[in-house]
Amino acid sequence: MKGLTLKHFRYFAALAQHRHFGRAAEACAISQPALSLQIKELEEMLGAPLVERDRRQVRLTGLGDVLAERAGEILRAVEEVGDLARGSRDDLSGPFRLGIIPTIAPYLLPDILKRLTERFPRLDIHVRETVTPRLADEIRSGRLDAAILALPLSEPSFVEVELLSESFMFVRPLEDADKPVPDGQALQKMKLLLLEEGHCFRDQALSFCNIDAPQTRDLMDGSSLSTLVQMVGAGIGVTLIPEMAIRVETRSAPVSVARFRDPEPMRTIGMTWRKTNPLEQQLRTVSEIVREAALDLRGQQATPP
């Protein structure tokens, strides 16, 4: 179609994702009027409306829904053309979009970035920190090259590489340090502080405690592990945190940390990407770098500060 460009697809895909002209324009690094103009041009070329506009939100028309899916496929194909060229080289360079979940990022990401930039000095790393469902969606759509998170995802179109497993630790007020460590059943009767919904770590903790989703209304939610630990230090309740977070999150809170009795609750940390990603060889190299950083962190945790 004459006049149709990749720019039109990129802008419309952003609008379909954010359902808001202002946020879509910000994501595309252009002004809102400029984005609106591009969408209007696209509609005129197609001869039909793609969106329903009102003050609160943007709704896609039937054609808009179809085009959003096709635009995503086209943009992914274009991205993979560039990845094919990058995949033919031993070195990894250019833009690299890495996702990571919030219960890993503060503790592991700085060392990962340091190692990656030393190994691949021409790499331009862009980090996206968010919860697992969003990371999976952005890998699927091609907006991320890979992500570091808790496995398994059980997504047939993804490669999953297990890197290491780590324990969940029990955190309680310092004055309770001499009390027996509860098991999952005993935790059901305690004031349990957990991350808010959407975090996989929350789901894993609930599974250990054998607490069903309808029962979670009586639990207290926090937005970060730091918030949970500080609340425990204030005597509000108890919580679970991953082992890699101990040194950072407990250094300024009056809390006691203990291991659960076997079988300990654990999670598997890994890296994932699309099976069709041409950077397969380079991504496996990146996964080994992430594994080395995680194992070094584990060694530091085992050594008293």
pLDDT tens digits, 90-112: 567 888 999 999 999 999 999 99
**pLDDT value at position 95?**
86
Q: Would you place residue 256 in the very low, low, confident or very high pLDDT band (cuts 50, 70, 90)?
A: very high
The C-alpha atoms of residue 150 and residue 51 are separated, in whole angstroms, by 37
Does 99 or 23 have the greater pLDDT score? 99
Q: Which domains does the chain have, with CATH numbers?
A: 6-84 (1.10.10.10), 92-164+267-302 (3.40.190.10), 167-264 (3.40.190.10)
Considering the chain, what is the average pLDDT of its residues?
87
Cβ atoms of residues 142 and 157 within 8 Å = no
**pLDDT value at position 270?**
96
Cβ atoms of residues 205 and 240 within 8 Å = yes
Average pLDDT over residues 4-14: 88
For 45-77, the pLDDT digits (tens) are: 888 889 987 767 788 888 888 888 888 878 877
Average pLDDT over residues 114-129: 93
The C-alpha atoms of residue 167 and residue 257 are separated, in whole angstroms, by 12
Average pLDDT over residues 259-270: 92
Percentage of the chain with pLDDT > 70? 90
pLDDT at 88 over 70: no
**pLDDT value at position 214?**
46
The C-alpha atoms of residue 237 and residue 190 are separated, in whole angstroms, by 7
Average pLDDT over residues 122-133: 93
Nearest to 141, CA basis, from 274, 284, 281, 4:
274
The C-alpha atoms of residue 115 and residue 129 are separated, in whole angstroms, by 18
In the numeric block, which tokens belong to residue 210?
């054998």
Average pLDDT over residues 33-39: 91
The C-alpha atoms of residue 296 and residue 237 are separated, in whole angstroms, by 31
Beta-ladder partners of 126: 97
In the numeric block, which tokens belong to residue 168?
């969940």
Does 65 or 287 have the greater pLDDT score? 287
Model pTM? 0.73
Distances in whole angstroms, Cα of residue 186 to Cα of each of 36, 54, 70, 206, 262: 56, 51, 51, 13, 15
**pLDDT value at position 199?**
84
Question: In sequence order, what are the residues at sequence separation of 6 or more whose Cβ sits closer than 8 angstroms to the Cβ of residue 20?
Answer: 57, 58
The C-alpha atoms of residue 222 and residue 198 are separated, in whole angstroms, by 12
Q: Would you place residue 277 in the very low, low, confident or very high pLDDT band (cuts 50, 70, 90)?
A: confident
**pLDDT value at position 81?**
65
Does 277 or 245 have the greater pLDDT score? 245
In the numeric block, which tokens belong to residue 194?
């957990």
Q: What is the DSSP string of the chain?
A: -TT--HHHHHHHHHHHHHSSHHHHHHHHTS-HHHHHHHHHHHHHHHTS--EEE-SS-EEE-HHHHHHHHHHHHHHHHHHHHHHHHHHTSSS--EEEEEEE-TTTHHHHHHHHHHHHHHH-TTEEEEEEE--HHHHHHHHHTTS-SEEEEEE----TTEEEEEEEEEEEEEEEEGGGTTSPPP-HHHHTTS-EEEEPTT-HHHHHHHHHHT--GGGGGGSEEESSHHHHHHHHHTTS-EEEEEGGGHHHHSTTS-EEEEEPPSSPPEEEEEEEEETT-TTHHHHHHHHHHHHHHHHHHHHHHHS--
**pLDDT value at position 84?**
55
pLDDT at 304 over 60: no
For 167-198, the pLDDT digits (tens) are: 999 999 999 999 999 988 888 888 889 888 77
